[in-house]
A and B are shown apart, each in its own frame.
Chain A
Amino acid sequence: MAAARKKETFWSEPISKVDLQRPAVVPSGTSIIDAVKEMKYNQIGCVLVVGADQKIIGLLSNGDLMHEYVGSTLPGDTPVDTIMTENPFTATPALTVQEALEIFHSNPFRHMPILNGEAIEGILSIRGLMVFISEHLPLEVMNLPPDSSLIATHAAGE
């Protein structure tokens, strides 16, 4: 059946096949200002906070900054630990595309660290997931003319 065919092609693919983003990482105790600089430098919407043993203890997102820091009385040198999301949601590279979709569906965050044991493989973002899905739909998404209503209904050459 047609839907089953699609599922086979990319639905059950592991997340390790998706292009993950290189993470921005700061040690626990880093100031909020420095954490934001790190995000800007890495052009990513979140930064991972790690303890002395390099294990992730938190994640700071633009959302955290907007709601916990901007407009608050906290000074810029406050440690990120104060406002970060503690013990963020993580997953392994074996997570399937479908499972990832389910997670982003029922949670408000846009970034999820992917861990291989203790090692940080990268960050899965909702954008990365969408691009991965669209790459599997060349006819419907990737290879459309600039105005898709003008898609040819006849073979070229006549």
Chain B
Amino acid sequence: MEGLKEYLTRQDFVSSSEVRWCPGCGDYAVLNSVQNVLPQLGLPKEKFVFVSGIGCSSRFPYYLDTYGFHSIHGRAPTIATGVKVANPELSVWVVTGDGDGLSIGGNHLVHALRRNLDMNIILLNNRIYGLTKGQYSPTSRKGQITKTSPYGVLEEPLDPLRIALASEATFVGRAVDTDPKHITEVLVAGAEHKGTAFVEILQSCVIFNKNAWTEVSDRSCREDRLLYLEQGKPLIFGEKRNKGIILKGTKPVVVTIGEQGIKKKDLVVHDRHREDPVYAAMLTKMDYPDYPLPVGIFHAMEKPVYEVELVKQIKEVTALKGRRNLQGLLRGSEYWTVSNKGKTIKRSTGISSLANDESKVMDERIHALLKSTDPLTASLKNTIGKIFYDYDYKRSKMLSPRDSIASAIALFKAAKIECILVGDAKRLYGILSERDIIQNVVLTSVDRDRMPISSIMRPVYEIMDESNSIGDVINILSISGHRHVPIRLKDGGFGLVTIRQILRFIHDTVEQVEKKESEDK
């Protein structure tokens, strides 16, 4: 292997395909860097595979003399996953764009990252759909004018690095297309990382989004506007290397060394191996012009690698159960027969004879739950009618919405009730509680003899049926915040069930249970 390192050169990875990117496109610089990286990795050529989706950036595999797959829009991480699992010896690279990787393929990217196969993902971020001639992408800036946002993008852009961190990526880096030497460094580190290495490269699309990055990546001002992250070194930047970052609480603050007593040792020291992602996330939040834009390796952690774990698992299970036969599984005795135009569905005997028939077990569990023998919970399955008739139902009173407030007051006093139904035998219009009367009559000077109840009643939140369970009614009372709920009676008309009645019922049930228990003893 050592010998190969010297043997392969950049030239070995240059394909004979004509490169079809626009002149000046940032993709060229990235291609050159990748062709520079590959010979350094000490692998024979046939071990490299480049998988891409759709986009200008996704044309990448054509221009490398390696195996490659210019695949389906957004699905490069998925196909690469299959390639790596089937042949873990390969060095697998995904090349994607901001549209390919974060629009149509956002979901695939997230899951590839959390799976952590030992592969590399390069996302070329030009903040635009280049191939389709300039529509806005998920990383386009707010206000950006594009073909599909003629008056400015309204959406908040995604930050690819924060997506990667949130997806538990084990290696997260960023580089700019104007600094190929730095791209090479980051990509080599990523390739050497065991696990998925995600690298965003800020890339200019000279045709459709020319100035996406110029203010930070331009050679003339780069030193002042980019912060190169170096492991174990303080966060320093600036042409004179005299600016740095300190932390005030969790907030990064830009300082000048030598001013206000700031020394180099006060600066934050970069550590990409921190286990918690908070520091790395803080770095991703730093952006020009408030801060220098950080580039380099934000986060790098060793975690179990998917294909290694998978191979191990297959070995262990095979040792235990022997090799299984896929055809046997497909043509086995477990199947369903659908007949009578889909009306009847039958299990094969193979399924129902299974010892651990899962759905049967689940059904049994559910039946046990529903058939609770606990007397209190069983009692809650009684209909609410039981409470209504057993506990003071004669106290449910109703008035017409046209009756005066004074007549309601008289009824409250005479019947000693907390609440009155407002309606007639057919319809319920509202509900009037003691509180409604107090707050309206005491705090305002309504003419109680002339004003109708309808002016102060409250709308009905919910009408329940006599056949609803007690549990249902408790549920509604808990959610609604009310102390009473009207019920529609079987013989017509309406009644009222109150929290007090329910508590009485629970009280009596418990009393009976206890009595029975002490008798049993």
Chain B residues closer than 8 Å to A130, beta-carbon distance:
474, 477-478, 499, 502-503
A102 within 8 A of B: yes
Within 8 A of B (CB), among A34-56: 36-37, 39-40, 45
B373 to chain A: which residues have CB within 8 Å? Answer: 2
**Residues of chain B with a CB closer than 8 A to A153's CB:** 366-367, 370
Please give the distance in Å from B20's CB to the nearest CB on chain A. 50
Assembly CA distance A157 to B503 (angstroms): 37
Task: Assess whether A11 is in contact with B510, with CB atoms less than 8 Å apart.
Answer: yes
Cβ proximity bits B463-484 to A, threshold 8 Å, 1 near / 0 not:
0000111011011011001010
A71 in contact (CB, < 8 A) = yes
Please tell me the size bucket of the interface on A: 35 or more
Contact A2 B375 (CB under 8 A): yes
Chain B residues numbered 364-409 whose CB sits less than 8 Å from any CB in chain A:
365-367, 369-370, 372-377, 380-381, 409
- Residues of A with C-beta under 8 A to B376: 3, 6
Residues A92-108 near B (CB distance < 8 A) = 98, 101-102, 104-105
Q: Can you list 8 residue pairs at the A/B interface with Cβ under 8 Å? A: A32-B442, A36-B442, A66-B413, A70-B442, A98-B510, A105-B504, A126-B503, A158-B359
In the complex, B437 has a CB within 8 A of chain A: yes
CB contacts (< 8 Å) of A157 on chain B: these are: 359
A65 at the interface (CB under 8 A from B): yes
B377–A127 contact, CB under 8 A?
no
A69: chain B residues at CB < 8 Å are 442
Interface residues of B in 191-250 (CB under 8 A from A): none
Q: What residues of A have a CB within 8 angstroms of the CB of B507 in the complex?
A: 101-102, 105
Interface of A is mostly: helix
Query: Does B21 reach chain A (CB closer than 8 Å)?
Result: no
Which of the four size classes fits the interface of chain B? 35 or more
Quote the shortest CB–CB distance from B368 to chain A (angstroms). Answer: 11
Contact of B438 among A2, A36, A126, A137 (CB under 8 A): A36
Query: Apart from A2-B375, A148-B471, A155-B363, what 18 extra A-B contacts exist at CB < 8 Å?
Result: A2-B372, A2-B374, A62-B434, A63-B434, A65-B442, A66-B438, A71-B409, A71-B413, A101-B503, A105-B503, A110-B500, A131-B478, A137-B474, A141-B471, A141-B474, A148-B469, A151-B370, A158-B359
- Whether A65 pairs with B377 at a CB distance below 8 angstroms is no
Contact of B500 with A126 in the complex, beta carbons under 8 Å? yes
Contacts of A71 in B (CB 8 A): 409-410, 413
Complex interface residues of chain B between 37 and 60 (CB less than 8 A to chain A): none
Closest B residue to A148 by beta carbon equals: B472
Identify which of residues 5-44 in chain A touch chain B, using a CB-to-CB cut-off of 8 Å.
Answer: 5-6, 11, 32-33, 36-37, 39-40
What's the Cα separation between A144 and B369 when bound, in Å? 13
